[in-house]
Amino acid sequence: MTDQSITSVSRESRAFKPSAEFKAQANLGSEATYKRLYAESVNSPEKFWSRQAKELLVWRKPFRSVVKWNAPHAEWFGGGMLNVAENCLDRHLGTARENKAALIFEGEPGDVRTITYKQLHFHVCRLAHVFENLNVGKGDRVAIYMPMVPEAVVAMLACARVGAIHTVVFGGFSSESLKDRINDCGAKLVITADGGWRRGKVVELKKTVDEALEHTPSVQTVLVLRRCKNEINMQEGRDIWWHEAWEGAPNHHKAKAFPSEHPLFILYTSGSTGKPKGVLHTSAGYLLGCKLSSQYVFDLKESDLYFCSADIGWITGHSYVVYGLLSNGATVFLYEGAPNEPGPDRFWRMIDRHGITIFYTAPTAIRAFMRWGDNYVLSHQLSSLRLLGSVGEPINPEAWMWYHRMIGKKRCPIVDTWWQTETGSIMITPLPGVTTCKPGSATRPFFGVVPKVVDEKGKEVPKGQGGKLVITKPWPSMLRTLWGDDRRYQQTYFSEYPGIYFTGDGARQDKDGYFWIVGRIDDVLNISGHRLGTAEVESALVAHPAVAEAAAVGRPDDLKGQSLVCFVTLKSGIEATEDLKQKLRAHVAKEIGALARPDSIRFAAALPKTRSGKIMRRILKEIAVGGEVKGDTTTLEDFTVVATLQAED
């Protein structure tokens, strides 16, 4: 049998200890406290999670059991009853928080709105009544296809209030993608807007909904928010204006209590092949995971203004824009549009203008900021920032260092978080004020999380060696199943190692016990018998001063099994030359070793990305082998990128 371990070759020696100032005010406080709580969470999970659930959540009926684990199915806080919206809103009424800003919104055109907890509660109550008038309640599915506006948050919370299950579909998805998701879950109600602003243009959301609804028999009603005032078609008997339905509704609504395991939402993750998977999350365990992690990972304080750049159509928007933050009574900043509209300094302008203190974004965005140039950052103070976060994929060390130096001004801790749609909440992360950070490492597990790096047979590999990342014990915010397809749930996540959750990621653990995610197992290349994670090759390329962004893919090779093809975007002002290609090949060989020397370097003005900023490596693989680009490309941010790459082939 061939060796299936993953060769992990990058080594990072830089380390950043928390400052004394940050440590003194941190929510967790000390390394000793982390170690004590972590040990309790994995050695006495029932005791630990029982205490957290009682202290952090508002219950209508106390739970009788903490966890029942019949792999791969979990039941957390059995017998308990609560309401998720009540935990995010009503609990703050009658306290100092009721007149505190819950949401501060800035639209792409520059319009600003502030909504207090009391006002947000009022909005959600009214919409809950609208739902009940439409006969939408417990267990009904509601599809939300909206721009990043406060009403999208209101819609999610109103669903939670009446026990409807929401499925938020990102506003960049095509009518075909929307149709598939609506049909898979059998949504009864669709909530949308006439349009949303993106790069100075109106994204015609209602038009996309109309196209999707030509083939969705389950949909009875469409609720439409007026946002852009663009011309739309309203179908009589089906389509209702939000403002008209909302105006006549009562201001108070008694939240209904639901069992701990009542489904809260379905969120579809699209794989490169096959139909999208409807990840199902339930109520109490999910909320607890989001609330506890928000409190400690973001070191939340009453005075914080928190900005996560993720859209609510993604899990990050669910967990760390809506549920985790509002249950903690935080002030959340929402931004509707693109980070470079009208210029590449839009985020920095907003951070200074509003006094944002916590900024959570994706490595893809960070690399885009690097590519646009330091001058856009240097013209802003950014003095209000006190904590930075990274989410969505492994961050390469050079992007980490730039983020630390340019955005954090060498004083803000960076929480490089690893987690997934399926995990519900953050799993591996530094804790600010506690953890010594190493650029590129997600560091250590959060409470209750037991990760291991294993080989093909499920045996733990030695420290420093790459393998597959698994989670060996259940945790409260884990997915419960895939909507309508429990067999696929078991097959996808629990068949590789029975009873153990397989993340699909490759990783290694260093001598200090820190975890380094080396990318998706699907993105592991087999080169001359070595299994190499693409993330490490990409990190090596981005470490070169000429490179802004890189993506590595494999193509079949008769001699080596696979040869390495790298697509590289250069920093502005750098000329693409044959000499630079050779220098970059040599640079990767020097950084990683000769086995990782790219066979081909291809310069690209831009890489194909989804609207959420993820590089679509599947498309690059198809271009690398000279084949036709197949499969769903409707989530692409810019279609011309693919055409340009193909033309250069």
pLDDT at 647: 66
pLDDT category, 636, cuts 50, 70, 90?
Answer: low
Coil vs helix vs strand at 619: helix
pLDDT at 609: 81
Q: What is the dihedral of CA 135, 136, 139, 140, to 10 degrees?
A: 110
Average pLDDT, the chain: 92
Dihedral angle sign, alpha carbons of residues 29, 508, 413, 342: negative
pLDDT digit string (tens) for 543-557? Answer: 899 999 999 998 887
- 246: part of which helix (H) or strand (E)? helix 242-247
pLDDT at 224: 98
Give the homologous superfamily in CATH for domain 544-648: ANL, C-terminal domain (3.30.300.30)
- 258: part of which helix (H) or strand (E)? strand 258-259
pLDDT at 640: 74
pLDDT at 25: 96
pLDDT digit string (tens) for 198-218? Answer: 999 999 999 999 999 999 999
Mean pLDDT (whole number) for 171-187 = 90
Of residues 34 and 646, which shows the higher confidence score?
34
Coil vs helix vs strand at 118: helix
- Tell me the C-alpha distance between 188 and 342, whole Å: 38
Are the C-beta atoms of residues 295 and 328 closer than 8 Å to each other?
A: yes
Nearest to 504 by CA among 271, 314, 181, 265: 271
pLDDT at 243: 95
pLDDT category, 1, cuts 50, 70, 90?
Answer: very low
pLDDT digit string (tens) for 29-52? Answer: 899 999 999 999 999 999 999 999
- Tell me the C-alpha distance between 17 and 12, whole Å: 15
Burial class, 281, CB count within 10 angstroms (exposed 0-12 / middle 13-18 / buried 19+): buried
In order of 86, 94, 286, the CA distances from 53 in angstroms are: 15, 22, 11
Question: Mean pLDDT lowest for which of 32-36, 55-59, 572-576?
Answer: 572-576
pLDDT at 521 over 60: yes
pLDDT category, 323, cuts 50, 70, 90?
Answer: very high
Coil vs helix vs strand at 567: strand
